[in-house]
Amino acid sequence: MSFSLYVHIPWCHSKCPYCDFNSHAASSWPEAQYTRALISELKDRAGTPPYSGQRIRTIFFGGGTPSLFDPKSIGEIIDAANRACGIEPDAEISLEANPGTVDLAKLGGMRAAGVNRISFGAQSFNAATLKFLGRIHCADETRAAAGMAHRAGFDRLNLDLIFAVPGQTVADVLFDIESVAALEPDHISAYNLTFEEGTAFFTDLKHGRIKQLATDEQAAMYQTVREEIPRRGYAMYEISNYAAPGHEARHNLTYWRAQTYLGIGAGAHSYAGDGRGGQRKRWWNEKLPARYISAIEERKNAETGAETIDEAGAQSEFVFLNLRLREGFAISDFHARFGRNFESIFGIVATPLFNNGLLTLDRGRIKLTDRGLEMADSVFAEFV
């Protein structure tokens, strides 16, 4: 048995207006103190169920902007994880980076510290779109950052794109796809822009200062993304994710397969319980970095909320998370996890979805059809 480790670094140079992550704009941050707190939390959790005795198969440094941290701090966390749990020899260790915050020395340092996959928030290659999104970098910085990542020894490189940005056209989306593929990453994520409550964009939308693209324009862009990225050698394996063969993001597969992970850091969430029976639980930490640090220093633990997931809740989550994957899930895996037939629990819900061409059964696996993909949120809602 093994688990995935998420490490949250909560600071950014500035707050992007669409961002609803737990990220805080700052020009300085208590890096040494926060790193100590992360290591203390990790050591404490490593000795308790379900993590004790399990090794780590993936680590993901997310944020925020983890590339603001010194490679030395990142290396200390990786070393501590190895000492506390043991990291599998072929583990995937990813770090999110902002193209405006790296140089060759920093990327080389991250690689030497043990990071083997880097993920840049490219978002777009169009200056107007980047400005609208409030990004601090320009397209040339993304191009330079991708080149430096290759030179620093990263053969695993993800680039994120955002589409359906007000003002964007399908031709702009195609330009972004061509630009991103030209940098030869092994993985591309392409997200439809959403307007989440609590963000500056949500307020702007409410007050009519910005306007969302029409639904059919957004659908046309998603279709362009779904067709054009695979044409360049990246298979779609999840609603928003594309990879060269064998280069899927293993860390994110943990989430979509509803498997156990540990999240450490301010606001991080954890999930325990992918085995059959036993208690399934989710918990989360103090969101504010200062409160997180003091909680860890005082009691080694910054948990601020938790929920137990009952059998029915776990079955729903298993279905709608796995349906995000193009391969869907094997009916036999559902049975292995819950000891019940999928049909006996979800037959009434699933039958109309099959009849309406939104779900399909293919060699023992249930998955979304192309039409189901376009209406994914409505399909998922049926299982909640």
Give min distance, CB of 137 to ligand SF4, in A: 9
Q: How far apart are CA 345 and CA 372, in angstroms?
A: 21
Question: In 78-228, which ranges are E strands?
Answer: 87-97, 117-123, 157-163, 187-192
What DSSP element (H or E) covers 143?
A: helix 139-151
Give min distance, CB of 15 to ligand SF4, in A: 5
Q: What does the angle CA 171 – CA 175 – CA 178 come to, to the nearest 5 degrees? A: 135
Residue 87 bridge partners (DSSP): 56
Closer CB to ligand SF4, residue 18 or residue 334? 18
- Answer yes or no: are the C-beta atoms of 37 and 292 closer than 8 Å: yes
Closer CB to ligand SF4, residue 193 or residue 262? 193
Closer CB to ligand SF4, residue 66 or residue 185? 66
Q: What does the angle CA 340 – CA 342 – CA 343 come to, to the nearest 5 degrees? A: 110
Please state whether the peptide bond connecting residue 89 to the residue before it is cis, i.e. omega within 30 degrees of 0: no
Give min distance, CB of 360 to ligand SF4, in A: 35
Q: How far apart are CA 250 and CA 91, in angstroms?
A: 9
Closer CB to ligand SF4, residue 201 or residue 255? 201
Give min distance, CB of 284 to ligand SF4, in A: 17
Closer CB to ligand SF4, residue 12 or residue 183? 12
Give min distance, CB of 9 to ligand SF4, in A: 9
Give min distance, CB of 189 to ligand SF4, in A: 13
In this structure, what token pair is assigned to residue 187?
């993985």
Q: How far apart are CA 145 and CA 154, in angstroms?
A: 11
Closer CB to ligand SF4, residue 110 or residue 345? 110
Which string of b and e fits 76-108 if b means at least 16 CB within 10 Å? bbbebbeebbebeeebbbbbbbbbbbbeeebbb
Q: Name the nearest CA neighbour of 58 among 235, 256, 234.
A: 256
Give min distance, CB of 67 to ligand SF4, in A: 10
Per CB under 6 A, residues contacting ligand SF4 are 12, 15-16, 19, 21, 23, 63-65, 98, 121
Closer CB to ligand SF4, residue 86 or residue 134? 134
